[in-house]
Chains A and B, each alone.
Chain A
Amino acid sequence: MGRIVLENVTKSFGDAQVIPPLNLTIEDGEFAVFVGPSGCGKSTLLRLIAGLEETTSGQILIDGEDATRVPPSKRGLAMVFQSYALYPHMTVRKNIAFPLRMAKMDQAEIDKKVEGAAKILNLADYLEQKPGQLSGGQRQRVAIGRAIVREPAAFLFDEPLSNLDAALRVGMRLEISELHNRLATTMIYVTHDQVEAMTMANKIVVLRAGHIEQVGSPLDLYRTPRNLFVAGFIGSPKMNFIEGSEAEKHGAKTIGIRPEHITVSADSGPWEGTVGVSEHLGSDTFFHIHNSGLAETITVRADGEVGFKHGDRVRLAPREDVIHRFDAEGLRIA
């Protein structure tokens, strides 16, 4: 079981309050992702849950029990660090067995669990090697192995993939999602990468300057962002924002339209502009349109086959049903 509840949790370092009063519930078995730009307090929040930082005020409940003053070793949570944080002086086997040995588990039982974890994570051939002899991806798998053998109430991941190269990152992302499906244990995952958040989470928590901007499923956030910040942060390429008379026509201060909701063509559509840079991804092409009179740049996501060149005049047709409207405070107009 791993239901984690934060009640009015705050954190200050000296005079600087990095987490203003914050309430959040993560249900048992959920894959929650904390996402936000760097310095938004997402790692601090994770470390508060882990117990590696002390809360300044408020309460942290793990499975209904107050864990606010419980040391990290007694919270029953496992953490995977960005730097892997393996014990360099121990073999892979000893690294994975370490939490079990600390729990004074029977040696036969330890061996069984380590073998089991090694099998799940494809580490069986490396058990007698030291972390220094392994690649980044293997090290991260060892760190995950060390976390799973404990059968924790929840897993905490602190940007675990950001030290890996792009290809490996996609692979590990799938492995972690797979692991979540298999174990059905609560996982809390911190990242600054909204693609990771969108692809892995059941529940995304978007943070800015310690504040929760919005909590919801990936598609909730994509379809109904609560404010301009979330609208701009979730989705890639970024949502286009348009102000002025075009926005007023829709009864809003700002309107937002995602690049994939604009059709680009030579002759149909209410908006007009000049093609600037085109990014060809093969399956898709991103056009950056200038001189539309609406915004500096309008990004459009088109089919990979659409071929406009730099300098071409094009017409743009937004899908009226998916235009997001925001008021002067930047909040969504329902």
Chain B
Amino acid sequence: MAIVAETSRFGKLSRPVLAWIVGLLFFFPIFWMILTSFKTDADAVKPEFLLFFTPTLENYLNMTENYDYWRFATNSVITSVFATVFALAVGIPCAYAMAFNPSRSTKDVLMWMLSTKMLPAAAVLYPMTFLTKSLGVFDTHFLIIVVLMLINLPIVIWMLFTYFKEIPKDIIEAGQMDGVSTWGEVKEILIPLAWGGIASTALLCFIFCWNEAYWTVRLTTTEAATLSKLIEGNRAPEGLFFGRLSAVSAAAVGPIIVLGWFCQKQLVQGLTFGAVK
């Protein structure tokens, strides 16, 4: 008797339905946020205007005119892009070395890198604040780029390491026999072969940088403040203005949702890379 149960008619029907329910559940907060962003602050809290209301662009106009949205957005782009580029610039050679010339302590080094993610960020908040202030780098792009790069580096190296491991060592050795320099190996063989993996690592790193809030909020005031800071700044003492807050949030997560949408195939491929050869 077969052990594997056949998918019943009910199963065939219920699975897509379940998938839709879960999908909608996840999407609902974003949908709600976008909906609210088109309501006035007053309408946003009134139950009678839950779904039917007069849409307004007031929040968005207010955001760009009074809150300097574009400056925050530019900062987010600058810090995320550079942090990602630098993380890859450090991560690729690092993962390359560990994947193709492992030493006895490679495993330990990888574990140690991962362990840095286990440290609660709050534990180093004060040292970081004082240190950066006395070094005069507080609220600079430089600082945010370095911090974002460092907190994402373990993930970047781990991901790249896994992708590079998939490349047969023979190919790298063939390159060495063919007279390639170390840099040539990386440029001519490694990067073209691991391109999909590198792209999805970059994408994920960029998303993490963009969404990062703990440090970007606490280590900036105005100069290097990112969109996370803008959202956080909309907490007024007199309460929350839901319309405004939603507009700011939608504008902050918008670019990353669009980016993720276009790259979803690459992302899924990247995350499952190597599962099936």
Which residue numbers of A lie inside 8 Å of B, CB to CB?
Answer: 50-52, 71-74, 77-79, 81-83, 85-89, 98-99, 102-103, 146, 150, 156
B168 touches which of A52, A83, A102, A146 (Cβ 8 Å): A83
- Residues of chain A contacted by B177 (CB below 8 angstroms): 50, 52, 72-73, 77-79, 156
- Cα–Cα, bound, A146→B176 (Å): 13
- Cα–Cα, bound, A79→B179 (Å): 11
A99 and B179 contact, CB distance less than 8 A = yes
| Main SS at interface, chain B | helix
A102 touches which of B170, B173, B184, B192 (Cβ 8 Å): B184
* Size bracket, chain B contacts: 10 to 19
Do A72 and B176 form a contact, CB below 8 Å, given A87-B189, A89-B192, A102-B184?
A: yes
A71 and B178 contact, CB distance less than 8 A = no
Do A73 and B192 form a contact, CB below 8 Å, given A52-B173, A81-B170, A85-B168?
A: no
- Residues of chain A contacted by B181 (CB below 8 angstroms): 73
Query: 1/0 per residue B173-190: CB within 8 Å of A?
Result: 111111111001000110
B178 touches which of A51, A73, A82, A156 (Cβ 8 Å): A73
- Cα–Cα, bound, A102→B177 (Å): 11
- Residues of chain A contacted by B257 (CB below 8 angstroms): none
Minimum distance in angstroms from A15 CB to a CB of chain B: 12
B180 and A102 contact, CB distance less than 8 A = yes
- Residues of chain B contacted by A83 (CB below 8 angstroms): 168, 170
- Residues of chain B contacted by A156 (CB below 8 angstroms): 177
- Cα–Cα, bound, A322→B181 (Å): 55
Instruction: Determine whether B113 belongs to the interface, using a CB cutoff of 8 Å to chain A.
Output: no
A79 touches which of B168, B174, B188, B189 (Cβ 8 Å): B174
A52 and B176 contact, CB distance less than 8 A = yes
- Cα–Cα, bound, A98→B189 (Å): 11
B179 and A85 contact, CB distance less than 8 A = no
User: Can you name 11 A-B residue pairings with CB atoms under 8 Å?
Assistant: A52-B177, A77-B177, A79-B173, A81-B174, A85-B171, A85-B174, A102-B184, A102-B188, A103-B179, A150-B179, A156-B177
Minimum distance in angstroms from B198 CB to a CB of chain A: 13
Minimum distance in angstroms from A263 CB to a CB of chain B: 49
Minimum distance in angstroms from A103 CB to a CB of chain B: 6
- Cα–Cα, bound, A88→B184 (Å): 16
B176 and A99 contact, CB distance less than 8 A = no
Minimum distance in angstroms from A193 CB to a CB of chain B: 20
- Residues of chain A contacted by B170 (CB below 8 angstroms): 81-83, 85
Closest A-B pairs by Cβ, 9 of them = A85-B170, A85-B174, A99-B178, A72-B176, A73-B179, A79-B177, A102-B179, A89-B192, A81-B170
A88 and B178 contact, CB distance less than 8 A = no
- Residues of chain B contacted by A74 (CB below 8 angstroms): 179
A98 touches which of B168, B173, B178, B193 (Cβ 8 Å): B178
Q: Which B-chain residue is minimally distant from A73 (CB atoms)?
A: B179
- Cα–Cα, bound, A99→B179 (Å): 6
- Cα–Cα, bound, A87→B180 (Å): 13
A71 and B176 contact, CB distance less than 8 A = yes
Minimum distance in angstroms from A70 CB to a CB of chain B: 12
Query: 1/0 per residue B10-44: CB within 8 Å of A?
Result: 00000000000000000000000000000000000
